[in-house]
Structure 1
């Protein structure tokens, strides 16, 4: 069984690109288009890793991360923040495990996923 990854971004273009990239490496990918949707889906999906955008309408990626870290079921869940912003400190303070720039690092995403999943 392949590892399940939840990709959360309000841009369909970004989610489609990330999904295609990760599926090429054999990962099962689920999508959410808002922080609220991610928090609703995560309990049912029980992903092995989350790829999370920062800037989204409603609940942003930082708050999603803080809520996951506050829940004992998800406090150890690997989270990669994928964004075009440069404020990495806020992401790490919220509890992310890794940070990738959408514009520069997207090709490296499968490698970072593999490292965080311990494979």
Structure 2
């Protein structure tokens, strides 16, 4: 059985690396991007099973714009998305976008892995 492919998109390099290590330890294959346009390029080149993104990204494309781009693309719009944010009220701002789960930072890595397993069953 091949491992599920996850794309992590966040402007926080330290958090991104930590998340990548934890996900790989959980058996997932992980790509990372720090900018929305970089993430779109990855998504056009390879399939992913899940996207974990932040609203705050590096570069000109923020997380909301990134989510809007995913929603517009028929090949990408059905990929499950988890949004990690430190802003409690952000869920209301992007509820019409392609988001399966909001998780508020800081969060327990075990809880995130559990949610991922619910979204991506074996």
Distance 2:45 2:105 in 1: 27
RMSD after superposition: 1.3
Query: Any stretches of 5+ residues in structure 2 without a counterpart?
Result: none
Partner of 2:77: 75
TM-score (normalizing by structure 2)? 0.90
Q: Secondary structure at the match of 1:31?
A: strand
1:25-77: per-residue Cα shift (whole Å, max 9, x none)? 10000000111111111111211100001012411111111111111101110
1:80-117: per-residue Cα shift (whole Å, max 9, x none)? 00111112112322221101112134431111111111
Distance 2:110 2:103 in 1: 10
Whether contact under 8 Å (2:64, 2:94) holds in the other structure is: yes
Distance change in 2, residues 1:106/1:63 (3 Å): farther
Query: Any stretches of 5+ residues in structure 1 without a counterpart?
Result: none
Distance change in 2, residues 1:104/1:95 (3 Å): same
Distance 1:92 1:113 in 2: 19
Q: Secondary structure at the match of 2:103?
A: strand
Q: What is the total number of aligned residue pairs between the two structures?
A: 119
Partner of 1:32: 33
Q: Does 1:84 align with 2:104?
A: no
- Counterparts of 1:15-54 in structure 2 under 5 Å? 15-54=16-55
Distance 1:84 1:24 in 2: 25
Partner of 1:113: 116
Partner of 1:66: 68
**Farther off after superposition, 70-79 or 55-64:** 55-64
